[in-house]
Amino acid sequence: MSAPVSAIREPLITGSKTYHQITEDLVSPTEKAPGLSWIIAFSVAAALATFGVFCIAWTIWFGIGSWHLNRTIGWGWDITNFVWWIGIGHAGTLISAILLLFRQKWRTGVNRAAEAMTIFAVLCAALFPGIHVGRAWVVFYFFPYPNTRGPLWPNFNSPLLWDLFAISTYFTVSLLFWYTGLVPDFATVRDRARGIRKKIYHFLSFGWNGSAKHWQRWESISLVLAGLATPLVLSVHTIVSFDFATSVIPGWHTTIFPPYFVAGAIFSGFAMVLTLMLITRKILKLEDYITLAHIESMNKVILVTGTIVGVAYLTELFIAWYSGYVYEQFAFFNRALGPYWWSYFGMMFCNVISPQFFWSRKIRRNIVWTFFLSIVVNIGMWFERFVIIATTLARDYLPSSWSFYKPSWVEIGIFTGTIGIFFVLYLLFVRVAPVVAIAEVKSILKSSGDQYSGANAHHHHEEAVSTDNH
Amino acid sequence: MKGKNQGVWIGEKDLTNDPSFIEISQQEFASLPEILGNEEAVEQVEGNRRDFLKMLGFGVGAAAMAASCDIPIKRAIPYTVKPDTIVPGVATYYASTYTNGSECESILVKTREGRPIKIEGNDLIGYGGTSARAQASVLSLYDTARYKNPMMNGGDSTWAEIDKKAIEVLASSNSVVLVTPSIFSPSLQKAIDAFTSKYNAKHVQYDTVSHSALLDATEKAFGLRAFPNYHFDKADVIVSFDADFLGNWGDSNKNSVDFISKRKIKTVSGAKMNRLYQVETHMSLTGSNADNRVLVKPSEQGAAIVALYNAVTGSSLPGGALNAKAKKAVSLMADDLKKASGKSLVVCGTNNEAEQMLVLAINNALGNIGNTMDMSDALMTFKGDDKAMMQLMNQMNSGSVDTIVLMDVNPAYDFSAGGKFSAALGKVKNKLAIAYSNNESVDGAMITAPSSHYLESWGDAQPNPSKYMLQQPAINTIFDTRQDAETLLTWAGVDYGGDIMNFVSNVFAENAFQNQSSSSNLKRYWETALHDGFVSVNTTSGASGFSGSASASGITKPVGGDGIELKIFEGALGNGANTNNPWLMEMPDPITRTSWGNYLAIPVEFDGFRKMISMNGLKDGDLVNVTVNGDKITVPVVQQFGQAPGTAALALGYGRTVAGACAQGVGVDMNPFVGMDASGNRSYSVSNIEISKKVGKEKDYSSVQYHHTYGVTDTDKATGKEINADEAALVTFDYGMGVQGYQGALKNRSVMYYSSLEELGESVAELKKRREHAQHLNDAQIYGGHDYKYNNGHHWGMHVDLTSCTGCSACTVACMAENNVPVVGKTEVARHHEMTWLRIDRYYYGELENPNTVYQPMMCQHCDNAPCENVCPVNATNHSSEGLNQMTYNRCVGTRYCANNCPYKVRRFNWLDYTTADIFPGNQPTLNGENTPFGADNLTRMVLNPDVTVRSRGVIEKCSFCVQRIQSGKLTAKLEGRKLRDSDVKTACQTACPTGAITFGDMNNKGGNLDSKLKNPLNFIVLEEVNVRSSVQYQMRVNNRNEKLDA
């Protein structure tokens, strides 16, 4: 596992770091008292999360009637948010698993945070299937286990059940993967800690002692989990798309959904990783680990997946026209020009037009532009799910049943609540675990150690100058 | 056995073969320590028998005391002696008569364990089915607002006290007036006669919506003040001037049956239909079923009638100006009428005596009198006299009325006379009320004698001289109430023996038994009448021949200018008496599809490009100020297709101020704006009203249907071509590209098919082609389906004839009553949370400004390839071997995936705790701010059908094809050891439908009712190409439009 750093390739870590410096840089945030900006951010996130929990309690007490869904539109913000969060949760595993298998060394700077983001996003996503049901207290009917009710089994034909399996598998594997990576880093933290912290990190690091055998097993398990996680990256959103693709509703019933959903998920996942990384790197001063090269790479992924998504949108339109099927034709006509035209327009603009800016290298390497566009893409992907779910249902087969939907304060509260929960977890994460995988980063540094003073120093110098110019 | 282990062992001693154990085990009665006989031993034992009993007694007592603190009291009282007529779990039916104002229907009352829970039509009368109001009347029995005991001066009292006081007051009064609705009950009439003669009282009758002009006209023309008996089943051509005879006018239930009987189409070749022209301002239920509608302003009605009179008789009475389209239509109508002389009918709903006389003269000229209308068996349910009421008002104002007795009326509300009646009522010294519940008129009465519900009463009705109906109680009085006749007789001092049944049967003997020849045994005749609900008698009304003279002098005169004219009409709810019935309040108006309130109907136009515009740019649900005769009211509007240009319309019956919680303050009261014409009859139109611009938005626009049309056409301004205007109007934003909608977006759907009679052949051929195409698509699949499962037993299906459906909504209410469908209230309906399992979709088609209408009852289609079933993650909805799509409520988690995936959108989700069936307290919504939420009230809950589960919050529900009726029908057949017959199982919607539009049955029963209907070439399956294999077939809507009117 070595990554040769050639003279023409930019180094993955800048700043002429020594191993000790890396440890210092990455472990110190867990050892210091939080700064004011962290406290403010955490308070805001915790407040949103608290209100979200209140809204969830409200929903369970009074019923789904506290939302503005209706007889025609049975899913609205709830499932939109669910799919949106699941999509965001795609980047982590893609970065850790697929990029690991493809030997993309640059991933080491961002994989830890991306995986954490995945886990928190999937947690937020998993909330919605649980609370969007009418009787949350009987959700256990979903689980296939021998029971005293017959036994009565769930319906294995239902995509919602496949969803349950897909998401829980994905969550489990992602969690394992993330935690496996954390074990040696927790050991590093442990070695520097004292008192109760030492005890806690001792427990968390599973008695890691850095022996060669440990490292060998650790590498093996990482590879095995990467192998397991790779198909999951594709399967999770494929199966989420089946919720729609296997239905009979025009606008949902399309075979293009699986690839389209997966591309969209990676697209939105990378956008969210960028949003988070840009903040994290600034606040934790990780500019040397998460470099402009990282940002540029991720922007390239966004450009590619965004364009794939754009092609998918156009294909849908073409197929609707080509099908000669009036319901399908009208569904797409209605999406673009009907009462929800703004959400379709928002989707098209944010997801197809906005990533095209990344054709420009300058914009790809510009922090402000990247941050702005990553937010735009996140918004766009939310619109996409809203377009697919709510606007499709609003006008389907029978004109008599057409309806309109806008969310209630409870639905908005739950959505902002999940954002709060996400950031509470992420902010806690940056205080208790190294945000960048120390062991893996060191592995990149190691291979370039021999030529350390040469190329790297030069690059670093050049980099510093160009950064100043911005 | 000793020493042997045979492999069977109970304890380890069996295995070890301990000799002492074996010894003991071989004794049959092992010796136990001797305790009971041994005093010493007893003392040694720590707890003895007495202690045990003490402990037991204390323990049980303590536990009982602790537990009894919060155990709720269950009100289930078992029968110690079982009544003969009640078998738990088995329904008992009683024949009775539904009466409410001028409505009168022969019905069967379904009771379970002594509670009336459902109204069914009485087939014996010649047709089954009922009106929506009759269906809903069972709920008013359990109305929480009804009077529960006699009252005096607003305080609780007893019958003895109020009777004494009433007799005292009446005896000391110089002038007594009794105000009632039209009385057509012989026994009640007798009681009234006794009362009026005792106190020399004056009896005034009036109807909530007046027909007094027609009655005055018939009195002059035939010497009999009665509503003619119209035979729509004998008329080939019908012209109706504003008469909503399918909705509210005359015997509308029978009218519907008769009218539709001429519109049943079985084959394409030789198909025949009657033709209805409706000349009206506002789209009425009848107008929506008309073949051609002619739009006139209310003030033009007189001119239109005169024009028709002139065209039919060749006279030249001066009528006044009429719009050009109507003028042309009138001459075409006259041609049609003349061709069908003796088989045509002209009816008129305007309350103008001269106009009614002209219409009678037209019928006379066409030779219809005695054929399609007759006076010998006239309808006696309308007797109201507006002039008498006005006279009463003047007398009250002059102080010459001492005592007024208001019996089942609410004139302060429905005979408002601009609010003057209420003021006059205040000047009467003594106000006595005989009433069911509090209202604007009886509020603050000196004496309130609570009436019993008709389901608690003995009574009779003679709607026509030849028909004598009986009313019998289906339950004892729930509260301390008394039926009207008893109260009147008591106050009149008549000794009726304390048993009102004897009184009713004596009247029956005099009026029915004496006038018949079929039976000579009174007792048997009475019992037959009770069993059947009615008897036919040989009484006639004694009208003379037509001798009226037509004159145009008193007709409404056209108002020139651009002023907007307002039409005030009676909608599906009637005029106020039913407003406190939540089933009816929630029932969407068939025309506007709104509920919980009245909406100002304003005409719709197409802007020639992409917008449906209405006056002042108003949209559905906008609030406007309407100035009528100087008074300003604020109402929400609804854009109404087929509303005459330059007019607006608003329904009566809302805006109650003193009523039950459900009616209180819902909508606006239009009664104060009902005026009086020159001849003293109430007139239901106002000219020169002003409608403001939008002044706000209604908080809860409670409409269940947002899209109303199915390809209505108009002219495109740019090209001058005819386009589907509604399809153009589906565009909200076109990015400045000038896109004009997607032509065919609605019309090319396979949701609904219609045709005119002329084009029936082509339409059926086209339908066949489209169905074949759909079936071709459906055949191209790898999935084999599971149709083979349904070949052996029953395979339930349904057929709905769209031509027969008038949209009356009786089925909707019947479904709510049968299946415990919750009522959700205005706010919830506005959020599209209505729970109706069966809804009636209403689409307009044809030309935009004056379209035709189709009603499409839509319920679960019980698809044999149901999309809802495979998506449910927990198998809560699944398919029975009889083709039923079943819903298992207690398995439902509530993901709503099934509802999303239903192409027909018939699945309903329990958004909130509408029924008090979940575990969370205090989370039930109210309908209209009532104290106890409707669904939680124990009195209201008495109406629940015990055969149907009450669904909890968070589960999906939908039409079950009345599975409880299927089960009970199968049981009946099984008990009788025979095959199931069509008559064993009928769904609630089917039995409620007066016109027989709905047929339910077993598709495997070849030759049965359903099977024969399924062979009709006009049938189609909604969304057939989606391949969900619906079990419901619809029959194309056919109209008999006179195309010459459009040319």
Q: Does B953 touch chain A (CB under 8 A)?
A: yes
Range of the structural domain that residue B613 is part of: 564-703
Query: pLDDT at residue A361 above 90?
Result: yes
Predicted confidence at residue A102, as pLDDT, reads 82
Contact list, A134 vs chain B (CB under 8 Å): 892-896, 909-910, 953-956
Q: Does B599 touch chain A (CB under 8 A)?
A: no
Q: Are residues B420 and B351 in the same domain?
A: no
Please enumerate in sequence order all residues whose Cβ is within 8 A of that of A33, keeping only pairs 6 or more positions apart, or say none.
none
| Nearest CA among B487, B553, B577 for reference residue B208 | B577
Predicted confidence at residue A4, as pLDDT, reads 47
Tell me the nearest-neighbour CA distance from A395 into chain B, angstroms: 10
Predicted confidence at residue B9, as pLDDT, reads 66
Interface subset of B 875-914, CB within 8 angstroms of A: 875, 891-897, 899-901, 903-905, 907-913
Q: Does B24 touch chain A (CB under 8 A)?
A: no
Q: Taking residues B25-48, what's their average pLDDT?
A: 60
Predicted confidence at residue A100, as pLDDT, reads 81
Strands in B103-112's sheet, in edge-to-edge order, are B92-100, B103-112, B115-121
| Nearest CA among B824, B818, B532 for reference residue B702 | B824
HEC letters along B787-806: HHHHCCCCCEEEEEECCCCC
Predicted confidence at residue B414, as pLDDT, reads 93
Tell me the nearest-neighbour CA distance from A136 into chain B, angstroms: 7
Alpha helices in B791-889 (DSSP H): 810-818, 826-830, 867-871
Q: A400 and B856 in contact by Cβ < 8 A?
A: yes
Q: Are residues B971 and B1015 in the same domain?
A: yes
Query: pLDDT at residue B558 above 60?
Result: yes
Structure confidence at residue A45 as a pLDDT band (50, 70, 90) = very high
Q: B871 and A142 in contact by Cβ < 8 A?
A: no
Predicted confidence at residue B20, as pLDDT, reads 74
First to last CA, chain A: 35
* Partner-chain residue, chosen from B745, B875, B954, that has the shortest CB–CB distance to A135: B954
* Partner-chain residue, chosen from A75, A141, A337, that has the shortest CB–CB distance to B734: A337
Tell me the nearest-neighbour CA distance from B877 into chain A, angstroms: 10
Q: Are residues B373 and B421 in the same domain?
A: no
Q: Provide the residue ranges of all domains of chain A, joining segments of one domain with +.
A: 19-447
Strands in B292-295's sheet, in edge-to-edge order, are B292-295, B275-280, B237-241, B344-348
Q: Are residues B999 and B862 in the same domain?
A: yes
ipTM of the complex model: 0.91
Q: A70 and B871 in contact by Cβ < 8 A?
A: no
Q: Taking residues B609-623, what's their average pLDDT?
A: 91
Structure confidence at residue B210 as a pLDDT band (50, 70, 90) = very high
Q: How many helices (H) and strands (E) does chain A have?
A: 19, 0
Cross-strand partners of B1020: B1034
Please enumerate in sequence order all residues whose Cβ is within 8 A of that of B885, keeping only pairs 6 or more positions apart, or say none.
B860, B862, B863, B866, B868, B869, B877, B878, B879, B958
Residues B257/B263/B267/B269 CA torsion (nearest 10 deg) = 150
Tell me the nearest-neighbour CA distance from A77 into chain B, angstroms: 14
Least confident stretch, A370-379, B83-92, B240-249: B83-92
Q: Taking residues B125-137, what's their average pLDDT?
A: 91
Distance CA A364, CA B233 (A): 81
Predicted confidence at residue A463, as pLDDT, reads 44
Amino acid making up residue A441:
V
Q: Are residues B666 and B768 in the same domain?
A: no
Q: Are residues B778 and B641 in the same domain?
A: no
Q: A155 and B875 in contact by Cβ < 8 A?
A: yes
Q: Does B752 touch chain A (CB under 8 A)?
A: no
E strands present in B528-578: 534-536, 564-569
Q: A161 and B873 in contact by Cβ < 8 A?
A: yes
Query: pLDDT at residue B390 above 80?
Result: yes
Predicted confidence at residue A25, as pLDDT, reads 85
Q: B870 and A158 in contact by Cβ < 8 A?
A: yes
* Partner-chain residue, chosen from A142, A330, A401, that has the shortest CB–CB distance to B905: A401
Structure confidence at residue A451 as a pLDDT band (50, 70, 90) = very low
Report the SS3 class of residue B346.
Answer: strand
Please enumerate in sequence order all residues whose Cβ is within 8 A of that of B574, keeping only pairs 6 or more positions apart, or say none.
B101, B133, B208, B209, B248, B652, B653
Q: B875 and A154 in contact by Cβ < 8 A?
A: yes
Predicted confidence at residue B6, as pLDDT, reads 56
Contact list, A341 vs chain B (CB under 8 Å): 732-733, 735
Query: Does some domain include residue B711?
Result: no
Strands in B151-152's sheet, in edge-to-edge order, are B155-156, B151-152, B447-450, B430-435, B403-407, B176-180, B202-205
Structure confidence at residue A149 as a pLDDT band (50, 70, 90) = confident
Average pLDDT across chain B, whole number: 91
Q: Are residues B616 and B681 in the same domain?
A: yes
Percent of chain B clearing pLDDT 70 (strictly above): 94
Residue in B777, B905, B1026 to test binding to A, most A beta-carbons within 10 Å: B905
Least confident stretch, A13-22, A448-457, B825-834, B913-922: A448-457
Query: Does some domain include residue B125?
Result: no
Report the SS3 class of residue B874.
Answer: coil
Predicted confidence at residue B669, as pLDDT, reads 94
* Partner-chain residue, chosen from A135, A337, A402, that has the shortest CB–CB distance to B732: A337
Query: Does some domain include residue B733?
Result: no
Q: Taking residues B66-74, what's their average pLDDT?
A: 54
Q: Taking residues B445-469, what's their average pLDDT?
A: 95
Provide the CATH number for the domain around residue B249: 3.40.228.10
Distance CA B54, CA B60 (A): 10
8-state DSSP, A455: I
Distance CA B710, CA A412 (A): 36
Q: At which residue do the structure tokens 């997801």 appear?
A: A351
Q: Which residue of A has its CA nearest to B726?
A: A399
Structure confidence at residue A450 as a pLDDT band (50, 70, 90) = very low
Distance CA B352, CA B176 (A): 30
Query: pLDDT at residue B435 above 60?
Result: yes
The dihedral sign for the CA sequence B1012, B1017, B1018, B1022? positive
Predicted confidence at residue B29, as pLDDT, reads 62
Predicted confidence at residue A468, as pLDDT, reads 40
Check if the beta carbon of residue A75 is closer than 8 Å to that of residue A393.
Answer: yes
Q: Are residues B491 and B620 in the same domain?
A: no
Amino acid making up residue A246:
T
* Partner-chain residue, chosen from A333, A338, A400, that has the shortest CB–CB distance to B841: A400
Tell me the nearest-neighbour CA distance from A260 into chain B, angstroms: 21
Query: pLDDT at residue A48 above 70?
Result: yes
Least confident stretch, B581-595, B783-797, B904-918: B783-797
> Domain tally for chain B?
4
Q: A153 and B908 in contact by Cβ < 8 A?
A: no
Least confident stretch, B77-81, B155-159, B605-609: B77-81
Contact list, B874 vs chain A (CB under 8 Å): 141-142, 154-155
| Nearest CA among B142, B133, B129, B141 for reference residue B100 | B133
Residue in A80, A329, A400, A405 to test binding to B, most B beta-carbons within 10 Å: A400
- Which tokens belong to B915? 């029924």
Q: Which residue of B has its CA nearest to A136?
A: B893
Query: pLDDT at residue B265 above 90?
Result: yes
Check if the beta carbon of residue B411 is closer than 8 Å to that of residue B389.
Answer: yes
Contact list, B951 vs chain A (CB under 8 Å): none
Predicted confidence at residue B45, as pLDDT, reads 57
Report the SS3 class of residue B176.
Answer: strand
Tell me the nearest-neighbour CA distance from B906 into chain A, angstroms: 8
* Partner-chain residue, chosen from A133, A396, A397, that has the shortest CB–CB distance to B895: A133
- Which tokens belong to B822? 């919750």
Predicted confidence at residue B305, as pLDDT, reads 95
Distance CA A242, CA A257 (A): 8
Predicted confidence at residue B257, as pLDDT, reads 95
Provide the CATH number for the domain around residue B773: 3.30.70.20
Least confident stretch, A287-291, B305-309, B651-655: A287-291
Tell me the nearest-neighbour CA distance from B273 into chain A, angstroms: 28
Q: Taking residues B256-276, what's their average pLDDT?
A: 94
b/e map of B83-110 (b: 16 or more CB within 10 Å)?
Answer: eeeeeeeebbebbbbbbbbbbbbbbbbb
Query: Does some domain include residue B629?
Result: yes
Query: pLDDT at residue A445 above 80?
Result: no
Taking only the tens place, the pLDDT of each residue in B745-761 is 999 999 999 999 999 99
| Angle in degrees, CA B221, B222, B227, rounded to 5 | 95
Query: pLDDT at residue A83 above 60?
Result: yes
Q: Output phi, psi for B479, to 5 deg.
A: -120, -175
Q: B873 and A326 in contact by Cβ < 8 A?
A: no
Query: Does some domain include residue B104?
Result: no
Contact list, A62 vs chain B (CB under 8 Å): 912-913, 920, 923
Taking only the tens place, the pLDDT of each residue in A204-251 is 999 899 899 999 999 999 889 988 888 888 899 999 999 999 999 999
* Partner-chain residue, chosen from B730, B732, B954, that has the shortest CB–CB distance to A134: B954
Query: pLDDT at residue B623 above 80?
Result: yes
E strands present in B641-789: 647-651, 675-676, 682-683, 685-697, 709-715, 722-724, 754-756
Q: At which residue do the structure tokens 């040989």 appear?
A: B538
Q: B897 and A160 in contact by Cβ < 8 A?
A: yes
Q: Output phi, psi for B225, to 5 deg.
A: -85, 85
* Partner-chain residue, chosen from B730, B841, B920, that has the shortest CB–CB distance to A61: B920
Check if the beta carbon of residue A250 is closer than 8 Å to that of residue A289.
Answer: no
Q: Which residue of A has its CA nearest to B955?
A: A134
Contact list, B923 vs chain A (CB under 8 Å): 61-63
Whole-prediction pTM:
0.90
Query: Does some domain include residue B73?
Result: no
Amino acid making up residue B471:
Q
Percent of chain B clearing pLDDT 90 (strictly above): 77
Q: At which residue do the structure tokens 């087929």 appear?
A: B642
8-state DSSP, B2: T
Q: Taking residues B81-105, what's their average pLDDT?
A: 89
Q: Taking residues B726-753, what's their average pLDDT?
A: 91
Q: A159 and B871 in contact by Cβ < 8 A?
A: yes
| Angle in degrees, CA B639, B640, B642, rounded to 5 | 145
Q: Are residues B920 and B836 in the same domain?
A: yes
Query: Does some domain include residue B16?
Result: no
Structure confidence at residue A1 as a pLDDT band (50, 70, 90) = very low
Query: pLDDT at residue A452 above 70?
Result: no
Q: Are residues B236 and B177 in the same domain?
A: no
Q: Rg of chain B's alpha carbons, rounded to an integer?
A: 33
Q: B745 and A154 in contact by Cβ < 8 A?
A: no
How far lies B828's CA from each of B701, B703, B914, B924, in Å? 10, 10, 10, 12
Please confirm whether the linkage preceding A151 is cis (ω < 30° from 0): yes
Predicted confidence at residue B864, as pLDDT, reads 92
Q: Taking residues A414-418, what's their average pLDDT?
A: 97
Determine how many CB atoms are found less than 10 A away from the CB of residue B791: 8
Q: Are residues B217 and B204 in the same domain?
A: no
Q: Which residue of B has its CA nearest to A138?
A: B893
Query: Does some domain include residue B143?
Result: no
Task: Single out the residue in B353, B379, B405 at which a domain terminates.
Answer: B379
Predicted confidence at residue A94, as pLDDT, reads 82
Provide the CATH number for the domain around residue B195: 3.40.50.740
Structure confidence at residue B10 as a pLDDT band (50, 70, 90) = low
Distance CA B620, CA B732 (A): 16
Structure confidence at residue A453 as a pLDDT band (50, 70, 90) = very low
Q: Are residues B367 and B390 in the same domain?
A: no
Q: Taking residues B171-190, what's their average pLDDT?
A: 95
